[in-house]
Amino acid sequence: MATTASTQQARTVNTADHGKLDVRSLVLLAVLLAAGFILNFTVGKAISSLTAGIISPEFIISAFCLTILVVRPSVPQALVIGLISAAVIQITTTSPFIDFAAEGVAAMLMAVIVRTAMRGNAKKFVPAIGTFITTVVSGCIFMVIKMAMLGVVAQLAAAMLPVVFATGVFNAILVQALYVPICKALKVEA
């Protein structure tokens, strides 16, 4: 009888954790952003060098996608997550402030994807597909704003689109690989 009660309590705790942007969620975001920031400086730069800049993983996007997958915030809460992530990116970016638009919109999109698709058999693929779409949308928003600022539309699009899509694939694989282990470590229902 005690086992059944503790099992029911664990299930309640696991599902109740979704949708709350509380201190625990913000700590998760901070830890993942810190890891993403460090990975950008180390692994990200190494991958970018090895691929001649074709793949430039943005681990901050992976970090906020993982946070949104685990926390499952509302769309306004996801905007906060995106804006916090953009603030961290400002430390290393060569194009200040563009990321606030790109990551804000992308985080809200990820929240919509997670809230609508995390059901049934489809939820197995949401980490990869949602992250890929989110990364590509973020990259395209960044690219469009950058093109408007510089006025070199064709050249910049030709240079950036392959990087955006390659980064989307890389982030999708990374988030898909990390999602279940992070959920298990946090004792949150995947």
State pLDDT tens for residues 75-104.
999 999 999 999 998 887 778 899 999 999
Tell me the mean pLDDT in the region 182-188.
90
Helix (H, G, I), strand (E, B) or coil at 152: coil
Is 90 within 8 Å of 96 (Cβ atoms)? yes
Residue 108: pLDDT band (50, 70, 90) is very high
Q: Which of 86, 67, 87 lies closest to 77, judged by CA?
A: 67
Q: For residue 1, is pLDDT > 60? A: no
Q: Which positions ≥6 away from 113 have C-beta within 8 Å?
A: 126, 129, 130, 133, 134
Residue-range domain boundaries for the chain: 2-186
Given the candidates 1.20.120, 1.10.1760, 1.25.40, 3.30.70, the CATH classification of the domain at 2-186 is 1.10.1760
pLDDT at 158: 84
| Residue 188: strand, helix, or coil | coil
Rounded to whole angstroms, what are the CA distances from 48 to 52, 132, 146, 149, 167? Answer: 6, 18, 20, 24, 10
